[in-house]
Structure 1
Amino acid sequence: MHKHHLFWPFVVLGTLLLFNLIYSPDFFSIQMKEGHLYGSLIDILNFGSPLIIVSIGMTLVIATSGIDLSVGSIVAISGAIACLSISNGGERSPFSLMLAAVVLALVLAVVLGLWNGFLVAAVGMQPIIATLILMVAGRGIAQLITSGQIITISNNPYKYIGAGSLATLPFSIFIVVTVFLAASMFTRRTALGLFIESVGCKPVASRLAGIRSRTVLLAVYMFCGLCAGIAGLILSSNVSSADGNNAGLWYELDAILAVVIGGTSLNGGRFYLAGTLVGALIIQTLTTTIYMIGVPPEITLVVKALVVLIVCLIQSETFRLTLVARWRSRHYPAEREVKQHG
């Protein structure tokens, strides 16, 4: 019987949560303090918000048989330009400063996504090379914006984006819900999702069918840049500062892993936004678990990589069938002989 594509991601997520519950019995406890909800589950949703948003954009890029290695750099750039804008804003009201900073950062993020899309769609450059250029240069641009320093700001409206609360929950969770619903609506309620899958699966056939593949690619990379820009705003506003060197570092790898864990193939074609959401939660829960059990920082990435490798192997149907075949041949040798002589 064919299992639903979310079966194994949910199994892995449930296993991680169960381990945390056994290791720390109060892991699922949620408390109300000063009108805000607090707890490990709330923290996973809150701190995982930037990664979830970046992963949503990455899903659509991968669905077109592409990849975007520059999202981490765009995260750093958007946070840096927003904080710099507020820092140099003068005596204007905090809200107008925040609004101008957010608009400037998001427009710049979309332009950077457009640049990636231009290199891929118009120039014909391989996506991994096109986005690698901005991955390297973008990190340098972020450090140029901050002059190699950490820009610290004090702006309550801006801080609310990443550290504020709405209806007792972190505001960043509502941003995630908005982005997820918008992406789902445009890709599942319109023909855009079909166009994206067609370009990723059969680019030549989709072009012959009249689909403007270049426009689709431009739109997808621009949306991915927008998602990275939103994530940069959340990260920088949460700590009221911008660090061009470390903000969004390795986010591109976590986002790609979240998409793959969620069931979307790197070969392009059919994609699963809900699977990506679960995959990103697995990555964030794993990170929380590693820190909670006290894994030394120097081997944290190794442990994380091993767990992700195991998760991907569990999801691989070929790997599972091979294990089952070997187990049956070992425990039922007579069955193997029948197949050989039959």
Structure 2
Amino acid sequence: MKKLFQIALCFIAISLFSQAKEAIRFRGNITRFDDVTYKGFKVLDQREDKSIGVIPFGENKEMKEVVFPTTPDNDFKVWFDKGNSLSGKNELVLILKRLKLSTGETDGKKTQGKMDFSTQLFQKEGDKYKFLYKKDTVFSFQDKEVSELMVKNIPTIFSVFIKKAYTLEPIQNAVTFNDISDYETYTKSNYEAFKSEQLKDGIYLDFTSFFNQIPVLGGYTLEKNDKGEVTKAIKIENGKKEKIAAYKMFAYVENGKAYKKTMSGFIELNKNENGFYIIANRGHIFPAQYSSTYGMFGLIGAVAGTIDQAAKQKKMKKEDKEEIYIDPLTGEYDFQD
């Protein structure tokens, strides 16, 4: 009996050791924008779980482990170097938080798949780091060969993410290497909106001014329509009228209470130990024809056509609302699901 047990353990060990692998293929280039150059690219792999996933491939549904060809730092560096002049003064630093693939139920000929994606980008200047962009989300796929589709689109999604950061100005408060290990906690501890019990009344044009609690200067008065909805802010100075249209506002605070601008109007902005949030759903925030996943991430073309097919089947009713947090690092909606 003991011998049979030893043989069984041996077979299990051999099976695990000989697990078939599916390597990510970093094809194409990360196209650089004019006048935006970096001298190098570095990846800091902070994933608690280094396994990307073991998922089924092909008609026989062979289980394969999805892997990087070598290491994340080396693979991204080689890929980045192919399409960039490396003539800049600063480096791009990508912090990889999560990359997990999984498959789910099969509906007809199509199988559901999910990619759990979390990463941040910083601009490194000397020994200091400036935040550029982040994204925490779960992409939903649905296809006959969903595993192949997800692996194929990993480089595409990272490329879109990196190119998105190319278009943004870095946050000006530079931090040390130790601060970027948990940058979100560092940021919250330094934002006035998280430290203060009372928010300052006024108009805020972007998320950084709101979280830093620096409203637009001047005695602006909120103008509302018959329904009590804010349409603009107005001030009269030296006989000259100045106005700020509602669509230009990120939020406003009145009598210490904050209201966040959405495509459906202003929604009350609440705060708890996790951060600032609104009670709403995607239908309140985005028009029906607009995909929040694509809008948040800038996905277009072929990728948009393959992602979020399953999510389209889960439209929320008007009464179905949830806590949707505002990401303090980007000002975007934080859809965890």
TM class, shorter-length = under 0.3
Q: Which has the higher helix share?
A: 1
Give the structure-1-normalised TM-score.
0.23
Q: Which has the higher strand share?
A: 2
Give the structure-2-normalised TM-score.
0.23
Higher relative contact order (CA 8 A, sep 6+): 1
Larger CA Rg, structure 1 vs 2: 2
